[in-house]
Amino acid sequence: MDKYEDLIEQYVEKFDEGFPTFMAPGEEEEHMEIIKNCLKTGKSYDPYTDPDFDPYADY
């Protein structure tokens, strides 16, 4: 298992939900940073509070 998959698994275990990759801006590296921050703060990812999230973007 690679580091990205490991972080996704940790996210699922901690928050009992999948990481919304389709709503998170950026690619795998950016997602990893978001997930690490979520695990550190104990708060799941909420794209609507992310200043980089564009609800009208075609991700």
| pLDDT score at 15 | 98
The helix or strand, by DSSP H or E, that contains position 28, with its residue range, turns out to be helix 28-41
Residues in the chain with pLDDT values less than 70: 1, 59
Predicted TM-score (pTM) of this structure: 0.86
Domain ranges for the chain, please list them: 3-48
At 3 the pLDDT is 96
pLDDT at residue 59, as a whole number: 61
Among 53, 56, 39, smallest CA distance to 3 is for: 39
8 Å CB contact between 21 and 28:
no
pLDDT for residue 58: 74
